[in-house]
């Protein structure tokens, strides 16, 4: 950066400013749209989180300002803490470990395979991704239900969705979301120069050594970007869990988005729900910062 600035001192000044403007101009329409459609709701939920607004009853028409009471309540609320832990398990299990590793593995295995194999595998994996969330959840429901495919095939009488709800939703989410990671990694791997890998092989590096010392370092930025995207997606995941287990049994699979929905829309505590949404927003932002930071450090 400094080197560029030093070698081209003329770039500063009026013409530079004009160029910066020209560069930003294409962002204009998007910014206007975002302000128009998103600023209102975001500011509103920010405000509501500090009131005692409800969906019906007196507080729905004349809510009062309660300061940080909702946030204080949240940290003493065992159900919230439970939902938070489950969200963490869900994100790490299904996104960071599941989708990420499986996506990378499929992408690696596909290198150098015939066109037919690749399109078949791609087709199958992407089909799961294209499927609407609710349909995917229903597929898994009929697979895992007591009289479902899995039990019929194996002859086990296990009520999976009841005995292992978190495993069920994590599996379903890995199955559905792997395609995204696979596509990101396929694209990244195609950028890895074949000569480098070959040269390493000639020098006697084994498969694992080539992967660890050549391939992974070369695609590390894609890994970070992919991790960031899938973490944010999974953090907010709602439809899949809602359809599959409804957060139950009890609250054994009630991640924070489901708990938020329950409180805000079923029990009408809009203010409390908004406060939780804000906390989730902050956590999402923290995750992104960490990933962005990691990308920078590697540069």
Partner 1 sequence: MKRVLIASILIIGVAACGSGTKEPAAGGAKELEVLYKVETTWPHLEKMLQNAKKQYEATHKGVTIKLTPVQGNNEAYYTKLALLNRSADSAPDLYYHDTFQVNADVAAGKLAPLDEYLGAWPDWGTQFPDSVKQAAKGGDGKIYGVPISTDTRGLWYHKDVLAKAGIAVPWEPKTWADVLTAARAIKQKAPGAIPFSMYSTKIHGEAATMQGFEMLLYGTPAGTLYDETQKKWMAAGKGFTDSLAFINTIYRENLGPKLSDAHNAKLSDKHTLEWFPQGKLGILLDGAWTPSAWKPTGAKPWPEWQQKMGWTRMPTQNGQEPGAVSMSGGWVMAMSSYTPNKKEAFDFITTATNKENSMLYSVGTGDLAPRKDVAADPAYSADNPSVKFWTELAEVTHYRPAFEEYPKVSAEVQEAMEAVTTGARGPEEAAKAYSDTLPGVVGGPDKVVAGG
**Nearest distance from residue 71's CB to partner 1, in Å?**
15
103 or 165: whose CB is closer to partner 1?
165
Task: Please provide the DSSP assignment of the chain as one string.
Answer: -HHHHHH-GGGSSHHHHHHHHHHHGGGHHHHHHHIIIIIHHHHHHHHHTTB---SSSHHHHS--B-TTHHHHHHHH-HHHHHHHHHHHHHIIIIIIIIIHHHHHHHHHHHTT--HHHHHHHHHHHHHHHHS-HHHHHHHHHHHHSTTSHHHHHH-----HHHH-HHHHHHHHHHHHHHHHHHHHHHHHHHTS-HHHHHHHHHTT--HHHHIIIIIHHHTHHHHHHHHHHHHHHHHT--HHHHHHTTT-STTTT--HHHHHHIIIIIS--HHHHHHHHHHHHHHHHHHHHHHHHHHHHH-
**Nearest distance from residue 56's CB to partner 1, in Å?**
5
* Cα torsion 97, 103, 104, 105: sign: positive
**Nearest distance from residue 208's CB to partner 1, in Å?**
44
**Nearest distance from residue 239's CB to partner 1, in Å?**
15
147 or 191: whose CB is closer to partner 1?
147
- State CA 73 to chain mean position distance: 27
Residues 295 and 224: beta-carbon distance below 8 Å: yes
77 or 200: whose CB is closer to partner 1?
77
Look-up of token digits 């990694």: 185
**Nearest distance from residue 73's CB to partner 1, in Å?**
8
**Which residues contact partner 1 (rule: CB under 8 A)?**
36-37, 40-41, 55-58, 60-61, 146, 159, 161-162, 246, 248-250, 265-268
52 or 233: whose CB is closer to partner 1?
52
**Nearest distance from residue 145's CB to partner 1, in Å?**
9
**Nearest distance from residue 58's CB to partner 1, in Å?**
5
200 or 281: whose CB is closer to partner 1?
281
Token pair in block for residue 161: 């969705």
**Nearest distance from residue 38's CB to partner 1, in Å?**
8
249 or 284: whose CB is closer to partner 1?
249
246 or 284: whose CB is closer to partner 1?
246
Residues 260 and 77: beta-carbon distance below 8 Å: no
6 or 30: whose CB is closer to partner 1?
30
């Amino acid at each position: 950066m400094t080197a560029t600035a030093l070698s081209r001192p003329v770039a500063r000044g009026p013409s530079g400013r004009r160029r910066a403007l020209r560069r930003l101009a294409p962002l204009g329409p998007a910014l206007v749209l975002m302000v128009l459609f998103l600023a209102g709701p975001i500011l509103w939920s920010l405000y509501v989180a500090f009131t005692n607004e409800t969906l019906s009853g007196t507080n729905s028409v004349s809510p009062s300002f309660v300061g940080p009471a909702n946030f204080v309540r949240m940290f003493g609320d065992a159900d919230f803490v439970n939902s938070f832990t489950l969200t963490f398990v869900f994100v790490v299990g299904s996104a960071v470990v599941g989708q990420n590793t499986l996506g990378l593995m499929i992408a690696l295995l596909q290198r150098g395979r015939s066109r037919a194999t690749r399109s078949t595998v791609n087709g199958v994996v992407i089909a799961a991704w294209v499927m609407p969330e609710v349909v995917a959840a229903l597929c898994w429901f009929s697979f895992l239900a007591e009289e479902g495919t899995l039990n019929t095939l194996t002859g086990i009488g296990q009520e999976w969705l009841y005995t292992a709800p978190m495993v069920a939703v994590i599996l379903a989410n890995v199955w559905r979301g792997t395609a995204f990671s696979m596509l990101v990694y396929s694209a990244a791997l195609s950028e890895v120069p074949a000569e480098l890998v070959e040269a390493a092989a000639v020098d006697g590096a084994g498969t694992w050594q080539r992967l660890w010392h050549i391939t992974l370092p070369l695609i590390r930025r894609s890994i970070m970007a992919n991790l960031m995207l899938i973490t944010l997606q999974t953090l907010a995941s709602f439809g899949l869990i809602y359809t599959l287990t409804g957060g139950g049994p009890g609250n054994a699979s009630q991640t924070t988005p489901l708990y938020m929905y329950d409180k805000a829309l079923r029990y009408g505590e809009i203010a409390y729900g908004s406060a939780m949404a804000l906390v989730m927003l902050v956590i999402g932002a923290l995750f992104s910062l960490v990933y962005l930071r990691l990308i920078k450090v590697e540069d």
